A and B are shown apart, each in its own frame.
Chain A
Amino acid sequence: MDPINFVILASILFAIGAAAVLLRRNAIIAFMGVELMLNAANLALVSFSRMHGEIDGQIMAFFVLVVAAAEVVVGLAIIIAVFRARQTISLDEPAELKG
């Protein structure tokens, strides 16, 4: 199969992830959207790597995986701290900062 199809798939996944971040009000779901965007970028890197016939893109995907793992740690820590304090992780609920 032509690898460009995977790039199109990656773009669709990226769009779904971005929509989840912007539209969903649950912090965990929004965060899953971010992860989906990062993994879409990985898929695009790997497909382009295949199209260019070299492995640079695949190595970059490893870097992205490591960074994404570190980001999950920090993100979940913040979300858990918020949950402990408020018993909710809705993004609409915390509304003390406005204007």
Chain B
Amino acid sequence: MTTAHALSGAGSSPPPESDTVIDVRDLRMRYRSQDVLKGVGFTARRGEVVLLLGPNGAGKTTTIEVLEGFRMRSAGDVTVLGTDPADGDERWRARLGIVLQSWRDHGKWRVRELLAHLGSYYAPYSTALVRRPWDVDELLAAVGLTEQADKRVGTLSGGQRRRFDVAVGIVGRPEVLFLDEPTAGLDPEARNEFHGLVRGLADENTTVLLTTHDLAEAERLADRILILAGGRIVADGSAEELSRQASAEATVRWTRDGRPFEKATAEPTRFVRRLFEEHGEAIGGLEVRRASLEDTYLTMVRELEAGSVPDERAVHAFGEGSR
């Protein structure tokens, strides 16, 4: 691999001038006469894990594919690592990681063999700052596939295959990583390991943009959640901030003289105070469940479908403490 050495430094990228890695403004996408994206805008900083959430057909995959440079947009300004994906060259591409859903491609290749092969394309883009590609054995250990290194890709289990997909996505030590529904079909344990892996990458300053259907996953993994619905970003913030923004209600459960009651309220603190004022000792088994991200999400999507998205949401008194 003397050639790799000769090329070292050829693809040296300048140190990051700006902290913004992804910048999307007024992104529009039109298929025939249908507007799929109607002005999507968001940014992502270095080392941030941003999660794109939304109902099926909301345009999550379309958005990610525009950022990957795999799809032309109808209108809007988009930059990824300071470059418009539509004119992104291979040097730009070398700084991206894309986790694809594998099906049965490269079934005859052995795990280590294919990782080494795909990694070798990144060697000309190695810099003093970012050594490319990732050492194969190190990478296999990081995704927990050391034991499967000599197995054929076609013989991996579903979970192993997904981890392998992630390994392929990060073999070039990307500065931005795109994952479209990475944990679909993973068992809880594999999902947990995957979350650890993504957090680890973010700690090393990789920006991660992923889509998911799994709201619990969104809550655990994301620094920031974007909700894409009706062709626009309708919410942008941490899971906590979103709960506060949405008009989702908390559920209060109690028993009075042994009989169970339940009430949904936007102001659980006040409600509980009144409950005790009125009934005192008769109240038992009190339980207050504040809106989960799932409730928040469902409320937002429902509001949107009803056509009543307020620009400024009232901050509801869900209780003072944070979750």
A and B together in one complex:
no
Give A contacts to B, CB under 8 Å.
none
Give B contacts to A, CB under 8 Å.
none
